[in-house]
């Protein structure tokens, strides 16, 4: 299970998050009983509430919303003022109206796609740069402008594209770093929908009037995002709650947008296949679609929140983590009611220090709570950004919000990850490769020798640095930029000199894949490191994680001892079996040698140097053909200018000549780049 996070509009700080499964599936009558230890959370006479719902087989998320209060002096928490008002003019967006036109929506979507394609051509094409040579700094500036344009248009296009953008903000393996950074700033800043529409959604989702579930329900939302918004309310027994209400019409909007995205993915896949690229655009689309639909299942989010709470309660010593309780009697597919848990956003260091919170301890605990989720619980919050983490200034508890984006690590996947960790510790590249293949992070190709050598090289470098007690050889952050560039160039030359040919082979084969769960883990750790350094300048992720790494290492020897006898018995049995097969194997070897002598069997070797030479020759051949085409078209245009009665054929021929010339220039630059790479590989 892995649902993607929704960035919340943080006009106030939060107390609840959520997700719900949208329509599109088999209609069922759902009866929600009191779950686990939530008997006290019933708001309607202690009876289960029946609601009409629609469920489908995939899992999305809704806007995290957060109704929270900042810490007040004396450890008290101030309730958000009723004067905090949010814009409720969402209907001005075409996608937010109940009667929006599907044809207009499709036209807007494809207009965005085409505009993006044109911009990318200017960013990536050498012909768009002076002299046909890409300047790295200029390209970075162009990419950042395009990424900012994309971010603004994603907000304009609404929920589907905001969520897709947030998903791709973690895919540094697919997008340039400028895009990743810009998309990482993507905020769900869309107006709230009206309180009247929220009430209708609540009544439809719960199957009864609001008054049957709540003694009071604030019509003004305290937070809003593209998939939903949060209202404060009071249950009939007097307890305060935060109610997340899904934005109306999301399922239909997802259906339209994902249909267009599927067409785009299929076209990109066909182009990649034709070009021989090892890409999986259709797989990426399917992943996005699954995430989006999962993110609108509030029942699923509530169940995830319950699991989070039970997991930390089971640790015994993790009372410093708090997860809001779900009130199941007032929860449905599009409505999630949770305990109201106000707090101070974890990034507000000054407020926390004023309230007497130990921010250094808090920085360590934020990371420790996540390590527990990954290594012990197998269920982790996929986006612990500051909007989803608050602190109770009275108890210093870390409060988690928004469980619509959560990922579960299956036991076999966890075992494989531990296998990678152990193999890396033992510097066993073969075992690392084996475990990566089992995880699906590495696709076995015809020749994995280059992958093994590259992995061994990097494992040895990290291991040697660790043995010397050095984390990295990097310069400090405030070092001279020229010194940084010189160091980076030296490291690049060293790496290319050692494994340049292997990296070339890997670049051609493209064997690595990065499942979404792994990218979520990496992004979460990156976010937590930023939070930690914001709270404590001396924060060290390695220091916090060391006890858990040592715990994993301590567990392994006991397993080895427990299984030692079995391993010995198995080895002895295999040795006896191998001994019995020796005569047969000798005969097979003789047979292979005879086939080689007859010419029936020819060994194949991979000459990487020859592959690079062929690649250069292929590119140069294309340059030659483009140059010939350019000259031919130029001659034709000159002839037509003297003899044609219309200027259109002349202009067309001249345009072809210019296009072919530009393509030839790009090819020449590529040849030069291949030559520079060859010199680096050979140490020239």
Report the alpha-carbon distance of residue 236 to residue 234 in Å, rounded. 7
The helix/strand/coil state of 217 is: strand
Lookup: tokens for 263: 């067409």
Distance of CA 167 to the CA centre of its chain: 5
Residue 88's H or E segment, with its range, is none
Instruction: Calculate the alpha carbon distances from 570 to 430, 523, 561 in Å.
Output: 21, 42, 15
- Residue 226 near residue 5, CB atoms below 8 Å: no
Q: Roughly what angle, to the nearest 10 degrees, separates helices 541-562 and 359-372? A: 30
Q: Which residues on adjacent β-strands are paired with residue 230? A: 223, 244
Q: Is the dihedral of CA 574, 577, 579, 585 positive or negative?
A: negative
Q: For the chain, what is the radius of gyration of the CA atoms?
A: 30
Report the alpha-carbon distance of residue 9 to residue 230 in Å, rounded. 10
Lookup: tokens for 624: 């030659």
Report the alpha-carbon distance of residue 62 to residue 292 in Å, rounded. 9
Q: Which residues on adjacent β-strands are paired with residue 245? A: 229, 335
Q: Is the dihedral of CA 95, 257, 229, 11 positive or negative?
A: negative
Report the alpha-carbon distance of residue 520 to residue 169 in Å, rounded. 10
* Edge-to-edge strand list for the sheet holding 344-345: 321-322, 397-400, 389-392, 344-345
User: Which residues contact residue 552 at a Cβ distance below 8 angstroms, ignoring those fewer than 6 apart?
Assistant: 375, 418, 421, 422
Closest Cα to residue 307, out of 377, 211, 399? Answer: 377
The catalytic position among 38, 383, 392, 626 is 383
User: Which residues contact residue 298 at a Cβ distance below 8 angstroms, ignoring those fewer than 6 apart?
Assistant: 18, 19, 20, 21, 62, 244, 246, 331, 332, 333, 334, 335, 336
Residue 617's Cβ-side half-sphere holds a number of Cα atoms within 13 Å equal to: 6
255: annotated active-site residue: no
Q: Which residues on adjacent β-strands are paired with residue 77? A: 71
**Can you give the three-state secondary structure of 514-576, one letter per residue?**
CCHHHHHHHHHHHHHHHHHHHHCCCCCHHHHHHHHHHHHHHHHHHHHHHCHHHHHHHHHHHHH
Give the other-Cβ count within 10 Å of 289's Cβ. Answer: 21
Query: Per this entry, what is the length of the chain?
Result: 684
**Can you give the three-state secondary structure of 229-248, one letter per residue?**
EEEEEEECCCCEEEEEEECC
Residue 504's H or E segment, with its range, is helix 481-509
Report the alpha-carbon distance of residue 369 to residue 238 in Å, rounded. 32
User: Which residues contact residue 628 at a Cβ distance below 8 angstroms, ignoring those fewer than 6 apart?
Assistant: none
Q: Is the dihedral of CA 377, 383, 386, 390 positive or negative?
A: negative
Report the alpha-carbon distance of residue 122 to residue 138 in Å, rounded. 11
Cα diameter, the chain = 94
| Catalytic center residues | 383
């Amino acid at each position: 299970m892995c649902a993607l996070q929704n960035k919340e509009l943080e006009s106030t700080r939060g107390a609840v998050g959520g997700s719900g499964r949208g329509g599109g599936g088999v209609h069922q009558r759902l009866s929600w009983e009191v779950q686990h230890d939530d008997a006290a959370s019933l708001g309607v006479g202690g009876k289960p509430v029946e609601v009409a719902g629609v469920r489908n087989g995939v899992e999305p998320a809704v806007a995290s919303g957060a109704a929270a209060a900042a810490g007040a002096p004396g450890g008290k928490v101030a309730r958000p003022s009723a004067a905090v008002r949010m814009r409720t003019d969402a209907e001005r967006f075409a996608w937010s109206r109940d009667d929006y036109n599907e044809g207009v929506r499709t036209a807007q979507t494809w207009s965005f796609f085409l505009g993006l394609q044109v911009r990318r051509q200017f960013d990536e094409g050498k012909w768009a740069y002076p002299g046909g040579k890409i300047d790295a700094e200029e390209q970075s500036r162009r990419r950042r402008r395009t990424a900012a344009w994309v971010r603004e248009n994603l907000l304009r296009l609404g929920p589907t594209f905001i969520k897709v953008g947030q998903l791709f903000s973690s895919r540094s393996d697919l997008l340039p770093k400028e895009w990743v950074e810009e998309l990482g700033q993507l905020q769900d800043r869309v107006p709230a929908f009206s309180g009247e529409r929220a009430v209708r959604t609540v009544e439809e989702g719960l199957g009864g009037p609001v008054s049957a579930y709540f003694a009071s329900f604030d019509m003004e939302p305290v937070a809003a995002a593209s998939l939903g918004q949060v209202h404060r309310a009071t249950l009939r027994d007097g307890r305060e709650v935060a109610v997340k209400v899904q934005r109306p019409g999301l399922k239909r909007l997802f259906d339209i947008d994902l249909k267009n995205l599927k067409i785009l993915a299929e076209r990109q896949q066909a182009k990649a296949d034709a070009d021989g690229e090892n890409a999986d655009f259709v797989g990426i689309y399917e992943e996005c679609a699954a995430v989006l639909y999962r993110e609108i299942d509030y029942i699923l989010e509530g169940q995830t929140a319950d699991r989070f709470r039970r997991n930390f309660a089971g640790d015994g010593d993790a009372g410093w983590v708090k997860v809001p309780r779900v009130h199941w009697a007032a929860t449905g597919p599009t409505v999630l009611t949770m305990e109201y848990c106000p707090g101070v956003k974890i990034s507000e260091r000054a407020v926390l220090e004023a309230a007497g919170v130990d921010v250094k301890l808090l920085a360590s605990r934020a990371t420790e709570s996540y390590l527990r989720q990954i290594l012990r619980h197998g269920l982790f919050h996929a986006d612990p950004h500051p909007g989803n983490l608050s602190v109770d200034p009275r108890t210093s508890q870390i409060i988690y919000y928004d469980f619509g984006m959560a990922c579960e690590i299956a036991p076999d996947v966890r075992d494989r990850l531990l296998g990678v960790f152990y193999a890396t510790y033992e510097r066993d590249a073969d075992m690392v490769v084996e475990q990566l293949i089992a995880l699906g992070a590495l696709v076995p190709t015809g020749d994995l020798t280059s992958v093994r050598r590259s992995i061994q090289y990097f494992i040895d470098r990290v291991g040697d640095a660790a043995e010397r007690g050095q984390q990295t050889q990097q310069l400090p952050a405030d070092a001279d930029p020229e010194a940084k560039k010189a160091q980076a160039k030296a490291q690049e030359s060293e790496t290319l000199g050692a494994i340049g040919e292997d990296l070339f082979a890997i670049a051609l084969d493209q064997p690595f894949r990065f499942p979404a769960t792994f990218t979520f883990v990496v992004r979460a750790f990156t976010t937590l490191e930023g939070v930690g350094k914001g709270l404590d300048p001396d924060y060290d992720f390695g220091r916090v994680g060391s006890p858990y790494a040592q715990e994993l290492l301590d567990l392994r020897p006991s397993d080895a001892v427990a299984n030692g006898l079995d391993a010995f018995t198995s080895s002895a049995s295999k040795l006896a079996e191998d001994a019995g097969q020796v005569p047969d194997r000798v005969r097979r070897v003789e047979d292979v040698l005879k086939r080689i002598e007859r010419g029936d069997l020819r060994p194949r070797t991979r000459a990487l140097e020859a592959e690079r030479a062929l690649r250069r020759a292929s590119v140069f051949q294309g340059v030659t053909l483009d140059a010939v085409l350019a000259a031919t078209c130029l001659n034709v245009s000159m002839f037509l200018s003297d003899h044609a009665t219309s200027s259109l054929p002349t202009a067309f021929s001249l345009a072809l000549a210019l296009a072919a010339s530009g393509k030839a220039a790009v090819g020449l630059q590529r040849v030069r780049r291949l030559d520079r790479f060859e010199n680096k590989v050979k140490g020239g």
